[in-house]
Structure 1
Amino acid sequence: MFSLRRTTQTLAQKRAFSASASQYYKVAVLGAAGGIGQPLSLLLKLSPKVTELALYDVRGAPGVAADISHVNTNSVVKGYAPSPENLAEALKDAEVVLIPAGVPRKPGMSRDDLFNTNASIVRDLADATAKANPKAKLCIIANPVNSTVPICAEVYKRHNVYNPKTLFGVTTLDVVRASRFISELKSTDPLNEKVTVVGGHSGVTIVPLLSQSNHPDISGEARDALVNRIQFGGDEVVKAKDGAGSATLSMALAGFRMAESLLRAKDGEKGIVEPTFVDSPLFKDQGVEFFASNVELGPEGVKEIKGLGDINSYEKELIDACLKDLKKNIEKGIEFVKANPPK
C-alpha cells in the first residue's frame, strides 16, 4: 500500500509539472514487444510528457500498441509492423528514441556473449534512425551497452549526422540497483539514497562511488560484497529467471526514467542530472572515448558532463580495472561497424 501511494503521488507531481509545460512529445520504442519494451512502453503511456507513443518491433508491436492504448491517459499509441517504411514513420518527429531491441541474456552468458546478435540489430536500427530522424535523442538499452553505443556513433558518423550530445547509453539501472542494495544493507528508504555510479554497464566496468554516497563508512568485507552485487546484480536476475530472460522490469524503469528526464530537460526544467554512458572527455587521454558519469541534461541533450569528484584509493583501483575492460568493449563496437557497415 505504501509503494502504491508513493507511486500515485509521484505521477500526480509529474502531471502538475506538465500542466505548465509548453510542449508535449513523441517517443519511439524500437523493440517494443520484447521483455523490456512492453513494460517500458506501459510506463511511457503513463507519462504526461508523452503525446504520441510509437511502438515498433519485428513482431507483435501492433498488438502491444492496441493493448497499451486502452490505458486511460491522453497519449496516442501507434503500433508499426516490420518494414523499412513503417520504421521510418515510427521514427519521424520523435523527440526521444529508445532501443531495447535484442536478445536477452541466459544463465552463464555474459553481456559480451550477446554481442554478435545484438550488434547487428542495433546497427540497423541506428542506421534507420540516422536516416529518418538524426536529431532525436537516442537512448541505447540493448546490451552490451559498452559496445552498442559506439556502434551507433560510428553509424551516425557514416551519415555525417553524429552529435555526441544526443546519444546516450542507459546505465540508470546501476544507480537504481545501488540505491536499493544500500537501503537493504542500512535499512533506509532507497528513494533517499544518493549513489554515483560511473564507468560502463557490465561487470567490473560498473564502479559505484560509495565514498560519495550517504554511507561513506561502508568498508571492508561489507563494501566488497556490496560493490560486487552492484556490478553483477544482473546475474541475480538471470539466474532467478532460470533461462527465461534477464532484467526486464527494472531495466524498463531505468529506461523510462532516462526518457522522462530528457523530456523534462527539453521542456526547460533545470538541474536534471542522470548517470549515462556518453561520448566523454573524462578519459579520452587514455583512449576511452565513452564513459558513464553524472550528466546534466538540457534542451539539446547533454549540457554538462560531470567529473568524478574526490575518490579514494579503493575506487581508484576500481576505475583502473574499469578502463582496461571498457576500452576493449568500445573498440569492439567500433571494429564491428568497420567490418560490417550498414547496408
Structure 2
Amino acid sequence: MPVPAIEIIDNPSVAHNDGDSRNATRVKVSVVGAGGGIGQSLSLLLKVNLNNLLANDPSANASIELSLFDVNLENLKGVTADLSHINNKIRLQVTDNLAENVKDSNLIIIAAGVPRKPGMTRDDLFNINAGIIKNIATDINNANACNSQNSGNSSFILLISNPLNSLLPVLQNSLNENWIGKCFGITELDLVRASTFLEPLLQSNSGNNAEMPYIPVIGGHSGDTILPVFSQITANNFTSSLYDLVRGPDSQIIRKLINRVQYGGDEIVEAKNGKGSATLSMAYSAYRIAEQFTALLLNQVKTVESILYTTIVGKDFETPLSTVEGAAELHDQYLERRLKFFATACTVEKLSGLTKIDNKIIGNLNAFEKDNLLPTCIDSLQINIEKGLSF
C-alpha cells in the first residue's frame, strides 16, 4: 500500500503560528530522491542546519518547509519519521506524489536516479537516469510555474544526479523556458576535493593552516571535463599558484593532484568494494550550495556567488543568454562556440536568476591549463552535452 500524502509537523504551535502572514517569508525546499544514499544525508543536513538561518533571520517571521519525496516509499516514510524527532523549527512534509512535492516549491533539489551497478555500462546508466529526470521535469512543468517577476517569489532547481554533464541538458531541455537561468548542476564536490587534497601539501610547505584553501574548479563534473585551477589558489586572504610553489607545470605533484580531483570518486567506489559511491561528501557539498540559495530566498543575502554548472545559451540552445553578463564572452571567445553548458563562477539573484558569469577564472588560466586541460575538457564535455540534448 502506498503511503498517503501526509504532513509531519515537529511543533504544531510553531508550524501554525507564522505571525503576520502578510509579512512572513516562507521558503519551501523540496528534495526529490530523499530516501537514497545522498538524499538521506542531505535531508538531515537541511533539517538541522537550515534552522540556523531561521535563528539568524532578522525579521523573526520566516519559515522553512522541507518536503521529501522518493519512489522508495518505505525508505521515505522511515527517513521522515526519523527526522521529525529533531527538535527545531523546520517543518517536514512527506508525500508519495511528486507533483505535490514540487508544487509551489522555492528550491527543488534533485538527487533521484540509480547508481552505476556492476555490469552496467555508462550508456545504461544515462538512459535510465535520463528517463527519470525527464519525468521529474514534466511534473515540475505542470506543478511549478516558476513565476518570479510578477509574484515577488522565486524558484530554483539544483541537480545532483549523475551523469551530471548530460543530465542537466536533459533537464533544461525538458523544462519550460521560465527555468532558463534558474536551473543549475552542483559540482561543488570537485571544489571540496581540490581543497581537501591540496591542504596537506600547503601545510607541509608553509605550516599555516588558518583556513582551508579555495581552488576554483570549472568545466564539467566527470573525469577530464573537470578542470581544477591550481594556478589560482586562495588561502588566508592570499592568492597564489601551485605551479610556482612546485616550480613548473610539468610537476608530477600537480599532475597527480589534478588526476585525483578528476577521478576522486573512484577512491570511494574502491573503498566501498564497488557497493556504493560518494554519498556523504556529495550530500555535504550539495548542502553548501543549497544553504546559499535558501539564504537568498529568505532575503538574507542579495546574491548567490558560486561555481555552478549552468546553461549559457537560451532555449534554442544556440544563442548566448543576452540578459546574462559574460555569457556571450564565455560562449564565443573562451569556449569557441562549442559548449552550451559549463561550470563557472555565477552570480544569481532571487528574482532574475542567473545575471552574471565571471570569466576571470577561465581568462586567467596559465599556459598549461589553457593549452592542455581546457581543450580536453571542451572536447569531452561537448560530447556529454550533445548526448543529453539528443535524448
Other-structure match for 1:290: 341
Q: Structure 2 length normalisation: TM-score?
A: 0.75
Residue identity opposite 1:242 in structure 2:
N
Map Cα deviations across residues 144-178 of structure 1 (whole Å, 9 max, x no partner): 1111100011111xxx4343211100101111111
8 Å contact from structure 2 (residues 303, 350) kept in 1: no
CA displacement at 1:243 relative to structure 2:
1.8
Q: Which shows bigger deviation, 124-133 or 143-152?
A: 124-133
Map Cα deviations across residues 111-159 of structure 1 (whole Å, 9 max, x no partner): 6652111111111111111211142211110001111100011111xxx
Give the gaps of 5 or more residues in structure 2. Answer: 1-22, 54-62, 147-154, 235-239, 313-326
Q: Structure 1 length normalisation: TM-score?
A: 0.84
Residue 45 in 1 paired to residue 50 in 2? no
Other-structure match for 2:311: 279
8 Å contact from structure 2 (residues 186, 289) kept in 1: yes
Other-structure match for 1:319: 374
Other-structure match for 1:341: none
- Gap change, CA 1:189 and 1:177, over 3 Å in 2: farther
Question: How many corresponding residue pairs?
Answer: 309
Q: SS state of the match for residue 246, structure 1?
A: coil
Q: Give structure 1 regions of 4+ aligned residues with deviation exceeding 4 angstroms.
A: 106-113, 188-191
Residue identity opposite 1:209 in structure 2:
V
Q: Which structure has the larger Rg? A: 2
- Gap change, CA 1:288 and 1:134, over 3 Å in 2: farther
Q: SS state of the match for residue 283, structure 1?
A: helix
Give the gaps of 5 or more residues in structure 1. Answer: 1-20, 337-343
256, 259, 266: which one aligns with 2:287: 256
Other-structure match for 2:8: none
Other-structure match for 1:13: none
- Gap change, CA 1:189 and 1:296, over 3 Å in 2: farther
Map Cα deviations across residues 37-78 of structure 1 (whole Å, 9 max, x no partner): 000000110112461111100112122111111111111111
CA displacement at 1:313 relative to structure 2:
1.2
Other-structure match for 1:7: none
Q: SS state of the match for residue 257, structure 1?
A: helix
8 Å contact from structure 1 (residues 297, 303) kept in 2: yes
CA displacement at 1:268 relative to structure 2:
4.7
Residue identity opposite 2:357 in structure 1:
I
Q: SS state of the match for residue 165, structure 1?
A: coil
CA RMSD of aligned residues (A): 2.1
Residue 133 in 1 paired to residue 144 in 2? yes
Other-structure match for 2:296: 265
- Gap change, CA 1:297 and 1:172, over 3 Å in 2: same
- Gap change, CA 1:109 and 1:183, over 3 Å in 2: farther
- Gap change, CA 1:75 and 1:202, over 3 Å in 2: same
8 Å contact from structure 2 (residues 215, 233) kept in 1: yes
Residue 217 in 1 paired to residue 245 in 2? no
